[in-house]
Structure 1
C-alpha cells in the first residue's frame, strides 16, 4: 500500500534462516566438522569431465608419438608428421614421459 513502509528483505532472510536452524538442531542433528581441503563425493550423471576426455584423446596419439621418438625424430618433426601443433605434441610427451632427441 501507499505510505506503508516495505519490510526489509534482509530481515526476512535472517528470520527464515533462524527458523531452519531451529528445525535442524531441534531434530537432534549436530554440526559436522570437515577438515580443510577435503571435499565430498561428486556423484551425478556426468562421470567424465572435459579435461579427462581431452586427456583420453591425447593418450590415443601417444603410441604413435613414442614410435616417432624411438625412430630418432625431433619433437618438431614428429609433430609435423602427425599433423599436430607443436604445443600439443610437447604436452603429450610430457604427460606420457616420452623423451625426444635434441634438435639436429
Structure 2
C-alpha cells in the first residue's frame, strides 16, 4: 500500500525461523549431531568426474612409487626416477599411504 512502510525482510525471516524452531521443539524433537563424513556430501575437490579421472591416473603410478619407497629412495629421488615433479609424488604418496624414508 502507498504510504505504509514495508516490513524489514530480515525481521520477517527471523520471525519465521523462530516460529519453525518453536514448532520443532514443541513437537518433542531433539537436536541431533551428525558425525563428520556421514552427510553424504562430496567435497568440491573430490566429487567431480575430472578430478576422479586424474586420480585414476595417479593411482596407476602408485605401485612403482611404492617400490621406490620400499627400496629406500627419498621422495625427491623417486620423483626424478619416475620423471615427475616431487609435488606430484608427494600427492600420490599421501593418497596411497606410501611412507618415504628421510625428510618429506
TM-score class, shorter-chain normalisation, is 0.5 to 0.7
Rate the CA distance shift 1:75–1:3 in 2: closer, same or farther, 3 A: closer
Q: Which residue of 1 aligns with 2:4?
A: 4
In structure 1, what is the Cα distance between the partners aligned to 2:46 and 2:74?
A: 30
Rate the CA distance shift 1:74–1:40 in 2: closer, same or farther, 3 A: closer
Q: Does 1:41 align with 2:38?
A: yes
Gaps of 5+ in 1: none
In structure 2, what is the Cα distance between the partners aligned to 1:70 and 1:32?
A: 49
Q: Give TM-score, length-normalised by structure 2.
A: 0.54
In structure 2, what is the Cα distance between the partners aligned to 1:69 and 1:25?
A: 56
In structure 2, what is the Cα distance between the partners aligned to 1:75 and 1:40?
A: 30
Q: Give TM-score, length-normalised by structure 1.
A: 0.54
Gaps of 5+ in 2: none
Rate the CA distance shift 1:63–1:98 in 2: closer, same or farther, 3 A: farther
Q: Which residue of 2 aligns with 1:97?
A: 99
Q: CA RMSD in A?
A: 3.9
Q: Higher Cα Rg: structure 1 or 2?
A: 1
Rate the CA distance shift 1:10–1:61 in 2: closer, same or farther, 3 A: same
In structure 2, what is the Cα distance between the partners aligned to 1:39 and 1:99?
A: 32
Paired positions, count: 95
